[in-house]
Structure 1
Amino acid sequence: MPRIEQKTESTDFLKSLGFPTIDVHDTFSHFDFTLPGRRVLLIGPMGSGKTEFAARVWRDAAIAQKKGDKVRSLTSSGEVDRRKVFFVRSEIDGARFSDYPEDALCFRSGYIHCGDNIARIRDSFGLEQVLADNPTVGTFIIDEASFFDERLAYVVRNHSQQRGVMFIFPTLILNFRRDLFNSTARLMLDIATDVIPLTAYCEHPDCMKDAFYTYRYYQVDGKECPALYFDPLIIVGGDEHKNSSLEPNYAARCDEHHFLPGKEYTFFHLKPLGEQASRGQEKALRDELYSLKYAMQRSMLYKNICERYVGVKDEEIYFNSLKPGNIAEKALVFLFCEQNLVPEELLLRLVSELELDTIYLSKVLADNRRPVSFGQPFLL
C-alpha cells in the first residue's frame, strides 16, 4: 500500500519555538534522494502543478550533486546515484510543446533545460533502452505514465527493487470522465510506494473550491460545451486555449462544476447498439450514427439529454454538449477503440456509407493507438 506523503516536522519545529496551537501547514521541503527504490506518484488534475513539482525535484538534484562523497554514499546504490535525474516524455507529446526547446521540461509557468538528460519514448521498450543507456542515473521522472503500455509498471518495479532506482510519475490517474485513466493507471497505483496528491483551484469563474478532476470542454460560438462521456479518451493537441468544435480545452474543476453529459446514454443506448452490430445486426447502429451526424434531434442521444437535463440547474451547459462537431465519429471511435465491439471491416463500411470525417478519424484513432487507413479522404 503506498503511503500518502505528509510531513509533521514543521509543526513540531514551530511548537518547539513556543508558537501557540494553530493550524500549521506543511512546508515545501527539499526532495529526499536517500531512499532507494521509491516509486512516487504525483497525482492531480491538469494545472495542479505536477510537472512543476518535477521541475523542483530537478533543481533540488542540481543542488544535491554539489555535495561531497559522504552525501553520495547516502544517495547511491552501487553505480546508481539518485541525485542524477533523467526526464522521460511520450513521443505523442510533441504537439503539446512545439513552442519549447527540444530539451525542455515544460510546465505552465515556464520550463527548465535538461540538456542530454531527456528522451521521448513510445512505449515500455523505449524506457528499457533509456535505462540501459544511462546506468548511473538514479532518478527518472516519467511524465504522463498513463499514456504508456501496462508493461511499463513492471519495468519500473523491477529496476527500482533490483537496482535502487527511484521513479517519479507526474501523471493523470483519472481521465476527463473521472474514471481511472486506463489499466496502466491501475497498475501504477498497485506498484507505487508513495502518493503525493496535488490540487488546483476550480477554474469555474464563480468557484474557489479545490479541484480534483480534469474537465474537457470545447469552445463553440463563445459557449462552453462539455465533452460527452464517449468523447475519445486521448486527443493530442497543444496546451493553448482553442476556439474549436473539434479540438478540446481542459480545466481543473470541482465536483459541482465538472459537467459530464452522455454517460447514461453511453451504456443504456450506444454500447448495446454496438453489441447488436457485433452480432451482425447493424441497422440500428447505422441509423443512430446517421442521426448523430445529420439529424441530431432524431437521435437517442438528444432524447436522453432532454430526459435528463430539461429544467435542471445548468441546463444550457448540458445542451451545449451537442454543439461540437463529429459526434457520430466520436461514438464510433468509442465502440471501436475502447469497447472492441465494432470490427475494422464494419468501421470502414460505416465510415464510407455515412461519409464520416476520415481526416479526424485518422488522427484520433492514431492518438489512441488503433490506427486505420481510410485511403482517399472524403471532401465534405
Structure 2
Amino acid sequence: MASFDQPSNEDFLKSLGFPTLEVHQTFSHFDFTRPGRRVLLIGPMGSGKTEFAAKVWRDANIAKKKSNLVKANTSTGEVDRRNVFFIRSQIDGARFTDYPEDAMAYRSGYIQCGSNIARIRDSFDFEKVLEDNPTVGTYIIDEASFFDERLAYVVRNASLQKGIMFIFPTLILNFRRDIFNSTARLMLEIATDVIPLTAYCEHDDCLRDAFYTYRYYSVDGLECPALYFDPLIVVGGDSTKTGSENPNYASRCDEHHFLPGKEYTFFSLKPMAEDANKGNIKALRTEIDNLKYHMKRSQLYKNLAARYKGDPNEEVYMNSLRPDYIAEKALMYLFNEQNLVSEDMLVRIVNELDLNREYMERVLTDNRRPVSLDQGLLF
C-alpha cells in the first residue's frame, strides 16, 4: 500500500517550480484576543525585550482603531486588552534620565505612554495600579524579577479572574547564569507563553548568538569581569560607565562570558563564613582584610592565579581584581544572599576594617536588605 507522507514546504515550492527556499514563521502582529495570557519575554540584556514590548504597544494602538466588533473579541468584562499599561520599578529610575518621564525606553529609542505608566516598589503598589485602572487589559511589567515573589500570584489571580494579559520583558538568568531569583522562578511557573530572544555576542571577535548577560567594570580602560559574588542587583544607567562603582552589561556567548571567582566562592569564601558562624571568625576576618588591603595575600588571588595560569584569557580573568570594593562585595554576599554572616558580625567587620560604609549601605538597600553600618560606633 502506498505511503503518503506529509509534504514539506520545500517539496511544495519545488512542485510549483520555485527554487528551494527556507521559509520562516511569519512575524505577526500581537494577539489581543486571548484572555489571561502571561507572556515571558526572556533574553540577555540587549536582546530587544523592551523593544518587543514597544511593538506590542504600537500594535495595540492600531487595534484600538478597529470597530466595536473587534472590541468584543479583545475584551473580558470591562477590561480591553488593547488598553496597555507600562510598569517599571522605582529603583530603575536612574537608568533612563535622558528620556521623558512617560517613556518606555529601550536602546534604540522610546515611545511615550502618557498616563498609562507607573513606577512601583512592590506587588502592593501594583495592586493599587490594578484598582485604579479597571479597564486596562494588558500590563507590560518591565524587569519583573526585580519585584517581590508575591507579584507572581497577584498577576496570576488577575489574569484568571479578569482575563487581563501580562507581558514580562525580564531577565530570567542573572549575570552568574543562575536563575535570577525566586521571583524569576515563580514567573516561569505561572507563564502561559515564553518568547526567547537572543542578540549577537558583543565581544569584538564574535558573531555567535548570545544567551547570557555579562557584567564587567571598566577600570583604567580595561575590561574587568565582575566576580561571582558581585551584588545581584546594581542599579545604574544603560550608558557606558567607568570606575568601580557602576558596572557595564553586554550580551555574551558561552566562550566570552567570563565569570571568575565561582570556585573560590564555594571552595573558600563560604566555608570561612560557616566557620565564623561557629565562633571561628579569624580566617574570614583575615581574608576580608586581605581583599581590602593586601590582595596578593588573599585566597581569591591565589585561586585565580592558579586557576587561569596559561589560559588564553588569563589577563582578562585577572583584571577582575582591579575594581575597588571587592572586600565589601564578598562580605555583602555572605550577609545578603547566603545569610552566613549576621548583622552584628557584618557591622563589626565593617568598622574594624574600615570598609566603605556608604557604598555598602547603598547596595544593600538596592538589594532589599538595608542596614545602618554606623552601629559599629556602639562596640
When normalised by structure 1's length, the TM-score is 0.94
Alignment RMSD:
1.9
Matches of 1:374 and 1:16, distance apart in 2 = 75
Which residue of the partner structure matches residue 22 of structure 2?
23
Amino acid at match of 1:228: L
Range moving further from structure 2, 45-54 or 365-374: 365-374
CA contact (8 A) 2:10 2:21 kept: no
Matches of 1:338 and 1:12, distance apart in 2 = 56
2:321 counterpart of 1:325: no
CA contact (8 A) 1:277 1:285 kept: yes
Matches of 1:308 and 1:116, distance apart in 2 = 53
CA contact (8 A) 1:359 1:377 kept: no
Return closer, same or farther for 1:216/1:16 CA change in 2, 3 Å cut-off. farther
Matches of 1:195 and 1:16, distance apart in 2 = 36
The 3-state SS of whatever aligns with 2:374 is coil
The 3-state SS of whatever aligns with 2:243 is coil
Which residue of the partner structure matches residue 289 of structure 1?
288
Identity of aligned residues (%): 74
Which residue of the partner structure matches residue 6 of structure 2?
none
Unaligned runs of 5+ in 2: 1-8
Give every structure 1 segment of 4 or more consecutive aligned residues whose post-TM-superposition deviation is greater than 3 Å: 10-21, 375-378
CA contact (8 A) 2:223 2:319 kept: yes
Per-residue deviation, residues 40-81 of structure 1 (Å, max 9, x unmatched): 000000000000000000000000000001100110111110
Matches of 1:12 and 1:124, distance apart in 2 = 52
Which residue of the partner structure matches residue 74 of structure 1?
73
Return closer, same or farther for 1:95/1:14 CA change in 2, 3 Å cut-off. farther
Return closer, same or farther for 1:69/1:130 CA change in 2, 3 Å cut-off. same
Range moving further from structure 2, 236-245 or 222-231: 236-245
| Count of residue pairs the alignment pairs up | 369
2:279 counterpart of 1:280: yes
Return closer, same or farther for 1:75/1:273 CA change in 2, 3 Å cut-off. same
The 3-state SS of whatever aligns with 1:247 is strand
Which residue of the partner structure matches residue 109 of structure 2?
110
Matches of 2:101 and 2:329, distance apart in 1 = 32
Amino acid at match of 1:233: L
2:352 counterpart of 1:358: no
Residue pairs, 1:1-380, within 5 angstroms: 19-375=18-374
Matches of 1:262 and 1:333, distance apart in 2 = 15
1:374 deviates by 2.3
1:25 deviates by 2.4
Matches of 1:202 and 1:299, distance apart in 2 = 33
1:281 deviates by 1.5
The 3-state SS of whatever aligns with 1:248 is strand
Amino acid at match of 2:348: R
1:273 deviates by 1.0
Range moving further from structure 2, 243-252 or 18-27: 18-27
Return closer, same or farther for 1:30/1:306 CA change in 2, 3 Å cut-off. same
Amino acid at match of 1:131: L
The 3-state SS of whatever aligns with 2:36 is coil
1:13 deviates by 11
The 3-state SS of whatever aligns with 2:246 is coil
Return closer, same or farther for 1:88/1:13 CA change in 2, 3 Å cut-off. farther
1:279 deviates by 1.9
1:373 deviates by 1.2
Which residue of the partner structure matches residue 3 of structure 1?
none
Unaligned runs of 5+ in 1: 1-9
Which residue of the partner structure matches residue 3 of structure 2?
none
1:11 deviates by 9.5
Matches of 2:64 and 2:10, distance apart in 1 = 29
